[in-house]
Amino acid sequence: MTFTPIHTDRLIIRKFRTDDYIELYAYLSKESVVRYEPYDPYTLEQARREAEYRSNSEDFFAVTLKDGSLIGNLYLSPREFDCMELGYVFDNKWQMNGYATESARAILNYGFGTLRAHRITAECDPENVRSIKLMKRLGMRREAEFKQNVYFKRNPDGSPIWRDTVQYAILKSEWEKLK
Ligand SMILES: CC(C)(COP(=O)(O)OP(=O)(O)OC[C@H]1O[C@@H](n2cnc3c(N)ncnc32)[C@H](O)[C@@H]1OP(=O)(O)O)[C@@H](O)C(=O)NCCC(=O)NCCS
């Protein structure tokens, strides 16, 4: 499906392009940014492959300032039963400006509107305070805390480092009431 870029007050949300890789590398290479992500900081070559993958994916969206600078990305991916999963990663250089909130609101609107989602969920580590604040700001409700349900890293002896996750969700009917 062709995605028409979304313009918000301060931002543009568009599909990724292969030539985004240098700006993608600028934030995915930072330990502080990917700390809660299921991957290690990216190399430039990994970022090049990732930009290529994302440019062919319907699930990843680049977020830019009006001058075209890439500041982060959103993820909105279909799940069973008209449900979608939301994700977001922003360069720490551009965090704490309301950009994640502004763009995530726009992508929720797109998910519930154009993509006709019934329910949108997001999940994160309980220690990821910024992500939890963002989910709440978007009007999402806490639905669950899963104990030791994921591991992204291993101990030196090879055993998994288990982490908990918290899940938040919002229904289309709840979203409509917020508008
Ligand atoms: C999760 C993440 C996207 C949240 O980003 P964020 O910068 O906290 O969110 P926003 O861009 O919406 O900024 C909101 C903050 O900016 C402040 N702000 C400053 N100027 C503002 C403005 N002009 N308009 C709106 N808010 C503004 C808000 O008050 C808010 O701060 P508060 O929460 O202390 O009240 C970000 O921390 C991130 O990318 N982390 C790394 C990746 C990650 O962990 N992703 C989630 C994995 S599950």
**What are the structural domains of the chain?**
6-178 (3.40.630.30)
- Give the β-pairing of 119-124 and 160-171: antiparallel
Ligand 1: nearest atom to the Cα of 99: 11
92 lines ligand 1 (CB under 6 A): no
59 confidence band (pLDDT: 50, 70, 90) = very high
Ligand 1: nearest atom to the Cα of 133: 33
88 lines ligand 1 (CB under 6 A): yes
95 confidence band (pLDDT: 50, 70, 90) = very high
pLDDT at residue 179 is higher than 90: no
Residue 20: predicted pLDDT: 98
33 lines ligand 1 (CB under 6 A): yes
63 confidence band (pLDDT: 50, 70, 90) = very high
Q: Which residues lie closer than 8 Å to 98 by C-beta, 6 or more apart?
A: none
- Round to whole Å and give the CA distance between 38 and 35: 8
Q: Which helix (H) or strand (E) holds 124?
A: strand 119-124
Q: Which of 9, 71, 73, 90 to mutate to test the pocket of ligand 1 (most atoms within 8 A of CB)?
A: 90
Q: Which of 33, 134, 152 to mutate to test the pocket of ligand 1 (most atoms within 8 A of CB)?
A: 134
Q: What is the pLDDT of residues 12-38, one digit of tens each?
A: 999 999 999 999 999 999 999 999 999
8 lines ligand 1 (CB under 6 A): no
3 confidence band (pLDDT: 50, 70, 90) = very high
36 lines ligand 1 (CB under 6 A): yes
Report the SS3 class of residue 103: helix
> If you average pLDDT over every residue of the chain, what do you get?
97
H and E: helices and strands count for the chain: 6, 8
Average pLDDT over residues 111-119: 98
pLDDT at residue 71 is higher than 80: yes
pLDDT at residue 1 is higher than 80: no
Residue 85: predicted pLDDT: 98
pTM above 0.95, yes or no: yes
Q: How many angstroms is it from 91 CA to the middle of ligand 1? A: 10
Average pLDDT over residues 154-168: 96
Going by C-alpha positions, the residue among 34, 36, 41, 116 that lies closest to residue 76 is 116
Nearest CA to ligand 1 atom 48: 124
